[in-house]
Chain A
């Protein structure tokens, strides 16, 4: 079953975590992808769940940037997604280049609040955004667990570097039918 399950482009690639006192781009630009034919629907547009795959790959690139890779997960801990709020702005088509940004909005002892943007190619045309809440878990116990010190320090450094960015207007905004 391992052949046919969902994979990310980073699996098995280990990690190259940042140096906490080095420069941290704001936002991070860790992932880009070309829309494969398997991701488009009957009318040539990228399917809804494939936006989640693309944002998932972007998150995986971030996990490896902070040091969450296969050995880290084998140690019994991981970051799990508990919430995702997608905003779809424009459509993406087969063969199109997607470039992604990633920022840390906030974090506490167990949680990381993050925001992704997906752009068309190298342009500033925004295709979609994803706001996510991630929770650090003990995978065996199936419970949330405090983020270890080394990881927390990296998150603090990234959060500090990203504090200069304006908070996107969709962050924390609830869904309403009276607003487009």
Chain B
């Protein structure tokens, strides 16, 4: 296997009209859409995306998502994403994804935890060995990447008392 991209950063998009809110900026929920789309590309690289779900009935389910909103995004703005696979075991994957603006400055960060669930059994199951191998290959490649200071902190941590953005 060749070295996986570190961080994983294939995702590109432009802010769509339906993503905007009352004041013409990207809606809170649309940051969630962008993070989901970006992470879905990573799952596709693992072989854990739509085709896998359709053929096996298993999928990665989101159990936690911690989003930090850092900058407003406007219609047509080009966004990309950079994802670190922070940790993973046979049934779980933890990701850290930055949404980047056209200057590569983070507009939002998302920390997420996924469980591999067999939908027919309704419980977590181990990923197939070849998928685990791909995931662990990326965990190893991403181990050398610096971890942001706010990773693994709760809401309101790492912010000054002023609340300045």
Question: Taking beta carbons and an 8 Å cutoff, which residues of A are in contact with B?
Answer: 1, 4-7, 11, 42-43, 47-53, 56, 73, 78, 80-88, 108-111, 113, 131-133, 135-137, 139, 142-144, 171-177, 180
Contacts of B20 in A (CB 8 A): 1, 5-6
A143:B164 contact, CB within 8 angstroms: yes
Interface residues of B in 136-159 (CB under 8 A from A): 152-157, 159
Q: Main secondary structure on chain A at its contact with chain B?
A: mixed
Binding site for A on B (CB under 8 A): 17-24, 27-33, 36, 50, 53, 61-69, 72, 75, 86-89, 92, 94, 111, 113, 115, 119, 152-157, 159, 161-165
**Contact assessment for B17 and A56 in the assembled complex, using a CB-CB cutoff below 8 Å:** no
Residues of B within 8 A of A84 (CB): 28, 65-67, 69, 155
Q: Are A80's CB and B66's CB within 8 A?
A: no
Partner of B36, one of A48, A80, A87, A180: A48
- Which A residues lie within 8 Å of B87 (CB)? 177
Chain B residues near A1 (CB, 8 Å)?
A: 17, 20, 24, 75
| Given A143-B165, A172-B157; 8 other pairs, CB 8 A cutoff | A4-B17, A5-B22, A48-B65, A52-B31, A84-B66, A86-B64, A113-B156, A133-B159
Q: A83-B68, A88-B63 are in contact. Are A52 and B153 (CB under 8 A)?
A: no
Indicate which residue in B30, B36, B69 contacts A6 across the interface (CB closer than 8 Å).
Answer: B30
- List A contacts of B156 (CB < 8 A): 83, 111, 113, 133, 172
Shortest Cβ gap from B75 to chain A (Å): 7
Contacts of B30 in A (CB 8 A): 6, 49
- Measured in the bound complex, the distance between the Cα atoms of B163 and A29 in whole Å is 27
* Cα–Cα distance between A45 and B111 once the two chains are bound (Å): 22
Instruction: Give the docked Cα–Cα distance between A49 and B35 (Å).
Output: 9
Query: If the complex has contacts A135-B165, A174-B154, are A48 and B62 also in contact, measured as CB distance less than 8 A?
Result: yes
Q: In the bound complex, do residue A177 and residue B163 qualify as a contact, i.e. CB atoms below 8 Å apart?
A: no
Query: CB within 8 A of A48: which of B22, B32, B111?
Result: B32
- Find out whether the CB atom of B29 lies under 8 angstroms from the CB atom of A175: no
| Residues of B close to A180: CB separation below 8 A | 63, 115
B63 touches A174 (CB 8 A): no
CA distance A123 to B162 in the complex (A): 40
